[in-house]
Structure 1
């Protein structure tokens, strides 16, 4: 039973809609205080041969597969981490004609949102009237795996705009919010399990969200319990070892086992995968019992391949081996990253669609108990935990501190010093700035270190100076780099070029900032000074710029736009107005 929720105290009525787009199944939840509704649908989509979205796999509407393109696992196409080489053959997805992956997300997101709308209207008292009264005040919460970040969030926001859920305006874009699947799962467990409701200050918890594509692992420590407030404890983990990879390994085995037989066709392998996924994988609980996968007709027999009456026999040990990489990867990650850092007898909560597998759940429980964890799996709705938890995330506000996933910083030019060996080493890269000074590019100014705990209101800032010979600077586009190496304070971008990546650019309007026009070495140029501010404690990176007003002497701020190097992210001049 869900815990009671405090009454909403905002100035206007809102409807919170959370969409959890999963690899195999997706969930939706809405919160129109105090009611919480939810639903779950397949993530397998059908398109016609012209690239038009036709619907989801409900087992009824698309019997004539030849007329449609069936796509699955498409969510993994925007993942920053690729599947292993052994899995790539199983997870290759053909996109519909004329569609990008963002278009596919938009098609499905629109379908899921409309389904949620229909559920609300039919389930809630006076549903039609109530929906209409809040349809212009919807806060959209989108979930994503722990390993995703800004570039993936940008694509999801673009898809929400394309789907017509939010407007392509600053207000519309700001009504889209993000939360990791791990954090959403914690919100669910905290209010839907007795262990979660009984958490005390100082206690630590491990959250395992086992889905179709990824297994997300997160840790939190309790700061307060009245009201409940927690902080992320360590960097979260994201493993590409979800339930779909169990099916992929079973398919790879079947392909090898049926090699040379008449059953080794894409159609037969598809049928095997479907039957295994819907049958054996969901009920498998003992490695001692023989399992049978039905994928042919009763007249189909091939003793050499183990096929009898259209059924392929698998030993229990074989089936357990399909699960083992997912189980062991999860346990290894927990042991290596968390087990010695968490307090003894910390709770490990297991949720997600893959958590409903008896074998996966039992094996994980046994092995986690052996390394000192207490185990808890919610009795109901574990396959909708992320969607329900995402809706709760927006209103309950349980997580007040998060861990930085990498080192943030900016490259800049520094005045050349002939006595500095590092400058001399880079003299061939130097340039003369508009004030006539020789400068060396590529110095790295760290703004935030990886693994730093940041509270929600934490902001980091760095001061910058922009020079222009022609006219005052109106807009700036400074790049924010992320550093993935191990150095505590990297100084130069060129020393570990493979460890630096452009994370994003910050687009800001400085037309209202004061501009100086000094003369130096006989040269005159425009100088603009301002601070770039990163808001790093939220679930999404945000930015501002600030400067000192020349008349009042007070700080002035302006929101900036975080732009990722992503062709699907649409940015217009009006964004910063």
Structure 2
């Protein structure tokens, strides 16, 4: 049973906008909150030049820049008829797949670096994303004013206090969120102040997809019986996996039951595999020079429709005069065997199957359902192969019937309105390096004898033991605090006027960090913690017996 949404309790009208900046397509969802009314989630379905592309609620994540670095065509406008010729004549630069330039350093791979187009000269990824956000804001404004009664007055009444929700891959952390926030400031969405920052929220694509699924076809057994589910958001650039279970309490909120995952095996990697194959296949053909256009045609048709390894696949790219029998090109169509096309998808299929099984193994609760959402999940071949591989393991694999491409943007609005998830699992271990009483018989202490220091009380102490505050894979509710008592001694009161604590993040494979030490030649990363979907760092102390 789909949960009902309560009436909006605010005293004045408010607008919530969610921008899904995808690797290949981007979309907008929104909700107008009227006092006393039940909020509804709506999508922007009309954009400039939108009639020239397929897909009712998204536009291509493409920007053309001129030689001065000014954005000249964005989204569907960058795909309209004749734009390619204009871009060639005026030496415009095409920016696409640029979201992947913002990827987390820990997830960077040579495969990604080698296969994504470079950013336009003298443009940072923050500047490019800000141009897209500014455009999406303009599209949202026009759509709301054009489609709602008294739209101009409505927009005028809410535009200065819009709350924005930006979604991002599960693998992104504070660094990437900070860059997205800077892009939002640069785009003019919010001001670079504490009040401005409070009008921007982040949500992972995995959690947004869960919220979408709750209102769009999640099985009743997962909703009512509390069975574990893995949500797979198969997008253009990444495959994001999150595992959840619904609680049995009065509020029946969802809890994360495993560490989320993010993998670079989205639909663009099918395109990359196809390009690599066709580069070899057409190496001796005159049509090798048309490879970019052939790949574009593959993306629009063959990749979307492929579902039979035994059938013949066609890529229509030219006219009836285009022929090369040696390469199976006749009348402007390139013929491929299904057995040639299936391997383009296989790395993504293998990635999803392996990751789901890892989620099933590592989850704190039994998992029985797998829900596929996202634009890539629309591929019948991908769904069929994942279903075929996971069903024997007792998993019910399904996908919502409609609007898969809206999962993240609609889910981001639902995240803001409904707040279904209240417990998440820590990806890493967090703690501090401390001093401990010196034990000359302890080998670890002996290694660090050079770090010995004498405290104000005269005690010898060795530096470098890692004291865990938040262990890896720990369920963390939004109101739960993790604390560790620290002691500092000094013979001067002035020392305590200002105290600093360095917070350390352990990203390794070990789960037991209780007896870990800093390397004698340390290499480690200091991080800021972020709360809710952003961890936050705080220092707490007692004053007059109060926190």
Same fold, TM exceeding 0.5? yes
C-alpha displacement of 1:178: 1.3
Give the distance between the partners of 1:496 and 1:185, measured in 2 at CA.
Answer: 44
2:114 maps to which residue? 89
The alpha-carbon deviation at position 124 of structure 1 amounts to 2.3
Deviation at 1:471, TM superposition (A): 6.6
Q: 1:343 to 1:416 in 2, by over 3 A?
A: closer
Alpha-carbon distance in 1 for matches of 2:367, 2:484: 42
The 2-side partners of 1:90 and 1:424 are apart by 48
SS at match of 1:241: coil
Task: Say which SS state the counterpart of residue 277 (structure 1) adopts.
Answer: helix
**What is the CA distance between 1:409 and its match in structure 2?**
1.2
1:413–1:441: 8 Å Cα contact kept in structure 2? yes
How far apart in 1 are the matches of 2:124 and 2:456? 43
Write the distance in 1 (CA, Å) between the matches of 2:221 and 2:42: 21
Once the 2 structures are TM-superposed, how far is the Cα of residue 344 of structure 1 from its aligned partner? 7.7
In 1: Cα distance, 2:364 partner to 2:349 partner? 20
Aligned equivalent of 2:264: 240
1:132 corresponds in structure 2 to 156
Which residue number in structure 2 is paired with residue 50 of structure 1?
68
Correspondence 1:179-258 to 2 at 5 A: 179-193=203-217, 195=219, 199-224=223-248, 227-258=251-282
Correspondence for 2:396: 374
Shift of 1:227: 4.3
SS at match of 1:264: helix
Task: Report the Cα offset of residue 300 of structure 1.
Answer: 2.8
Q: Distance in 1 between matches of 2:156 and 2:456?
A: 57
The answer on whether the counterparts of 1:144 and 1:180 sit within 8 Å (CA) in structure 2 is: yes
* CA distance 1:385–1:270, change in 2 (3 Å): same
Q: Does 1:333 align with 2:327?
A: no
SS in 2 for 1:457: coil
| 1:76-105 deviation per Cα after TM superposition (whole angstroms, max 9, x unaligned) | 1122255654554332x2212221111112
Q: Secondary structure at the match of 2:188?
A: coil
Residue-by-residue CA offset, 1:33-61 (whole Å, 9 max, x unaligned): 32322132211221112222223242217
Task: Provide the rounded CA distance (Å) in 1 between the counterparts of 2:111 and 2:504.
Answer: 35
1:459 to 481, 500, 507: 481
Distance 1:113 1:437 in 2: 61
**Does 1:173 pair with 2:197?**
yes
- Gapped regions of structure 2 (runs ≥ 5): 34-38, 45-57
**How many angstroms apart in 1 are the aligned matches of 2:503 and 2:366?**
43
More helix by share: 2
* TM-score, normalised relative to structure 1: 0.83
TM-fit CA distance, 1:248: 0.8
More displaced stretch, 348-357 vs 429-438: 429-438
* Structure 1 residue 473: Cα displacement: 4.2
Structure-1 residue corresponding to 2:546:
554
C-alpha root-mean-square deviation of aligned residues, in Å? Answer: 2.9
Aligned residues, how many?
A: 520
Shift of 1:430: 3.9
Shift of 1:431: 5.0
Partners of 1:407 and 1:341 in 2: CA distance: 17
Q: Which residue of 2 aligns with 1:62?
A: 83
Deviation at 1:271, TM superposition (A): 0.8
Alignment TM-score, normalising by the size of structure 2: 0.87
- In the alignment, structure 1 residue 120 sits paired with structure 2 residue 144: yes
Kindly provide the CA deviation profile for residues 122-168 of structure 1, in whole angstroms up to 9, marking residues without a partner as x.
22222222222222322211111112222211111111111111110
Say whether the 8 Å CA contact 1:483–1:501 is kept in structure 2: no
Partner of 1:290: 312
SS in 2 for 1:94: coil
The verdict on how the C-alpha distance between 1:96 and 1:186 changes in structure 2, with shifts beyond 3 A counting, is: same
| Aligned partner of residue 98 in structure 1, secondary structure | coil
- The aligned counterpart of 1:30 is 30
Label 1:302 to 1:418 Cα distance change in 2 as closer, same or farther (>3 A): same
CA contact under 8 A between 2:209 and 2:408: conserved in structure 1? yes
When residues 11 and 438 of structure 1 are mapped into structure 2, their CA distance, relative to the original with a 3 A threshold, is farther
> Relative to structure 1, is the Cα distance of residues 198 and 204 closer, same or farther in structure 2, using a 3 angstrom cutoff?
closer
Name stretches of at least 5 consecutive residues in structure 1 with no aligned partner.
506-533, 556-577
Contact 2:243 2:363 in 1 (8 A): no
